[in-house]
């Protein structure tokens, strides 16, 4: 959590993480370039700039594939949490590598044109009605613009000023960028490169990304329940159905999801949306008396939805009650930061 804006909070861990990241990027580029140079057929030689183009393009695609896998994997194992907390560093690095790739493409294929290279990129091949001859470079350019928008708004300053909802919507466009890049590769290098490694790597990457997202989407149903209306209140379920220090998540017909937590013999309900990056608070747990977001560790007190001092984030809170062993929640939210007495399990009629 951060109560003031800093360009980068350079903790020792982040320094080690970035050192490994830069080293990994360097090793990949060197290995790719050397392998390409030594494996080229005698009658087919790539210029050095073309080899670097392929190296940076493939690395950017693989990094983006890995970034999209971090979220689902972090739900499956805590070992992925360090990557989740430093996903911003990976994202900015991916954009910079993609920018180098795009810059080399413009320089090599359009830099010697009589017109502006960017204009040449879009007018040199107008065959948008042809699948085989589709101007795939334009797809990569649009994907690069999306990555640029995400990289420039990655800092918490933009998260706070745009609001978590709009900020998350912008960064969800990463899936559009990935789709465009898949099409960019299929209509581009796959059309000309006959080596099966490229198609195999592309297929494996897409299957992994889609498979992990589908699997974790089905798995998260253990946190979510079908809301049952009971007059003005929503039935959550039996007190014992809510794991200790964890939550069940209900979704009103008209409204945002609500996380209902059981802890220390009490039940409280708050918004399921973290104020930081829209993380699912109900998939987190209560640590040291605070609801802890599973994405980046932002914390909120369950009674009032306020972050502990000196932090100032607040989330909506909801009234709860326990009757005949069943937990109910009022779907009408209170103002963020409103203190609501928790329902006491010991005093409930069981």
Is 350 a residue whose pLDDT tops 50?
no
Which class would CATH give 228-344? mainly beta
Domain ranges of the chain: 12-220, 228-344
Closest to 156 measured CA to CA, from 10, 3, 284, 305 = 3
* Per-residue confidence (pLDDT) for residue 348, from 0 to 100: 61
The predicted structure's pLDDT at residue 2: 46
Indicate the pLDDT class of residue 223, thresholds 50, 70 and 90: low
Q: Give the count of beta carbons closer than 10 Å to the beta carbon of residue 154.
A: 19
Q: Is it the case that residue 70 has pLDDT exceeding 50?
A: yes
Q: How confident is the model at residue 347 (pLDDT cuts 50, 70, 90)?
A: low
* pLDDT attached to residue 191: 82
Mean pLDDT (whole number) for 180-196? 86
Q: Is 335 helix (H, G, I), strand (E, B) or coil?
A: coil
* pLDDT, tens digit, 9 for 90 and up, residues 288-335: 999 999 887 889 999 999 999 888 889 999 999 999 889 999 999 999
User: Average of pLDDT values for 87-92?
Assistant: 91
More confident residue, 101 or 189: 101
Q: Which helix (H) or strand (E) holds 180?
A: helix 174-187
Q: Summarize the confidence of residues 48-61 as an average pLDDT.
A: 94
285 contacts: CB under 8 Å, gap ≥ 6: 245, 246, 291, 292, 294
Give the tens place of pLDDT for each residue, 257-286: 999 999 999 999 999 999 887 888 998 899
Pairwise pLDDT comparison (44 vs 314), residue with the higher score? 314
Beta strands 320-323 and 326-329, pairing class: antiparallel
> Would you say residue 6 has pLDDT above 60?
no
Task: Give 47's pLDDT tier (boundaries 50, 70, 90).
Answer: confident
What are the angstrom distances between the C-alpha of 232 and each of 100, 211, 244, 250? 57, 39, 26, 14
Mean per-residue pLDDT over the chain, rounded: 87
pLDDT in tens, 104-117: 999 999 988 788 98
Quickly state the pLDDT bin for 77 (edges 50, 70, 90). confident
Half-sphere exposure of 333 (CA within 13 A, CB side): 22
| pLDDT tens digits for range 138-172 | 999 999 999 999 999 988 778 777 876 788 889 89
**Arithmetic mean of pLDDT, 336-344:** 95
Q: Is 227:251 a contact under the CB 8 Å cutoff?
A: yes
Helix H or strand E encompassing 290 = strand 290-292
User: Cβ(328)–Cβ(322) under 8 Å?
Assistant: yes
pLDDT above 90 covers a percentage of the chain that reads 53
């Amino acid at each position: 959590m951060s109560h003031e804006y800093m360009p980068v909070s350079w903790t020792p861990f982040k320094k080690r993480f970035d050192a490994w990241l830069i080293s990994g990027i360097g090793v990949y580029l060197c290995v790719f370039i050397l392998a390409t140079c030594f494996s080229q057929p005698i009658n087919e030689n790539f210029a050095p700039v073309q080899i670097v183009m392929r190296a940076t393009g493939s690395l950017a695609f693989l990094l983006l594939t890995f970034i999209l896998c971090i979220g689902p994997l972090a739900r499956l194992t805590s070992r992925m949490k360090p990557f989740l907390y430093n996903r911003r560093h990976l994202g900015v690095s991916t954009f910079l590598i993609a920018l180098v790739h795009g810059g080399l493409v413009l320089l090599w294929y359009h830099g010697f044109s009589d017109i502006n290279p960017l204009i040449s990129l879009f007018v040199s091949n107008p065959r948008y009605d042809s699948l085989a001859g589709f101007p795939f470079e334009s797809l990569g350019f649009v994907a690069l613009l999306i990555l640029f928008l995400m990289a420039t708004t990655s800092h918490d300053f933009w998260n706070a000023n745009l609001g978590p909802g709009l900020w998350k919507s912008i960064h969800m466009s990463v899936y559009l960028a990935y789709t465009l890049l898949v099409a960019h590769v299929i209509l581009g290098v796959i059309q000309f490169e006959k080596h099966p490694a490229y198609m195999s790597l592309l297929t494996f990457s897409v299957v992994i990304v889609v498979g992990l997202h589908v699997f974790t989407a089905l798995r998260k149903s253990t946190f979510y329940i079908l809301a049952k209306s009971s007059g003005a209140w929503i039935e959550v379920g039996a007190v014992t159905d809510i794991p200790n220090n964890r939550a069940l998540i209900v979704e009103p017909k008209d409204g945002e999801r609500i996380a209902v937590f059981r802890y220390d013999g009490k039940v409280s309900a708050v918004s399921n949306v973290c104020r930081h990056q829209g993380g699912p608070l109900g998939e987190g747990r209560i640590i040291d008396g605070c609801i802890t977001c599973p994405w980046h560790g932002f914390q909120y007190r369950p009674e009032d939805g306020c972050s502990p001092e000196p932090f100032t984030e607040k989330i909506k809170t909801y009234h709860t009650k326990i009757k005949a062993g069943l937990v109910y929640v009022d779907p009408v939210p209170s103002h963020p930061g409103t203190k609501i007495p928790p329902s006491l399990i010991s005093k409930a009629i069981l």
